[in-house]
Structure 1
């Protein structure tokens, strides 16, 4: 569903933009799915990938109290948007279980989860997308490094970063360098890997060659690693191949690179970011970036944020990094959806 721009009015003339002000896209999707019932929600979720289900599940489990007019507004907006369409276009880990259980209760969630997971023809590799990072790490821990590399390159960067965190430093470095050197995988290699995984998941083998890995993939995975682990791996890469380290670093998107996002993109990002995360993230940001972000807020909102930041006590660097990575994650998601364009490369102190 689109942002609050030129939204229609309700039957009694009330503007939907006012009713839905502050309600994020994920929350709207969660409200809609929880309104249509378990069976219909399951049918919709079958057509969504793990990341989309995870986002909606998160919105379900953290949804604040909503008003009846907001629910009606979300449904009305949905009907307005799909009224002229003949079908809905939807995207083709084990967080879903915990999230939907919290949102719907154990009994209802169990049936819903079963329908979702059994609804698609997932291959062995795709099944890994639904698993917790620690479980995936245990599965590939004793496999050949090249098998580990294919798995890490195949999965989404945020999940891959969490899987890498389960391995020793030396193994992490080796895998990242292999990912950076990887360009494509032959069908036979994917078939072999799927065959290994099918012994546990009973999935069908894939037969298509796939382009995997590369320096860009390595940089994307590095973006999601904790700062300490990221620095550790980067130092190791520099010792082996300084040019490769520079190439990866140049492709990494860091918080200060948000300065390259246009004003419209910043405004869209601000609609999805919580004020609490923003005021902590800006504590460690370049002053020019902070001013750009504040300049894209209303005068009143910018004043309140400045006052909140001034009233804050010392903040740990790790807390700033967590807030910045959270915002970067939202920015990357919006970039993947074509909503904004990203540019740029790329003992605890107190700020």
Structure 2
């Protein structure tokens, strides 16, 4: 019992970055990599540093941190669903009064709160579209940043194409927004959105948010928006194009399309690109090659030995470049959020 108390106290004294590092170590590299992709660069650097400097984590520490994450995640869902009182009631039943209070206190300490424009996230897309059509692009962009990517895409495609590009540019270039601006916009939208505003600047938008939205719209809409951005924001357009389809997304392609891609990909790029990927992804590639090609590929990968991460990422991006080129030529098809039009 004393050991358990000591571990609990030790975990409570850890800062959030170290807890995050231990949590990622606990859940394994593949899942951790997916989470890491969602973090800001500054956090990636801090968490990576902690992971690199952790030599040992006891099973009890690992268990305590994973349990804390699960409890915090559960508490957050309860708060978002029904508010703080609803969360306290359910947590008291699930965890007991003392532990429930500790979890709520931790949530308050890290200011885990309902995001602004929460009502917009729950509202009907058509109603939101009707409401937003008359708003300025910067207003629409800020609201879409807080919404689910698929719902934001449904709204974005209803704007005239020139407005779509302007809204997309705003989303892609937003870095933070002051509470006063958020508050004014919430009032303009007649209290249809959340009334809770961060005391500090809220990090929203950016290329990742825009890419998530564009991945949900149709190919024609995406091409039109990116085309406009190439004229007004060429660097942003290139960054978006590089992020719209990742090497791991190759599994979403049809079998015939994968085989077309592999025929066009440089062999050395493919050898490098497959270093460090999951077994499932590697097997997927093997399934779309001849047995002789697979044998050669495996031999070359073994002969290659360790490779620099930057070189692997460059090779993977070269493969993505081939995929996007073939997609633009109409030789393969990348699935999008909306159905493609049928031309008779």
Superposition TM-score tier, normalisation by shorter sequence: 0.3 to 0.5
TM-score by length of 1: 0.44
TM-score by length of 2: 0.44
Which of the pair is proportionally richer in helix?
A: 2
Q: Which has the larger radius of gyration?
A: 2
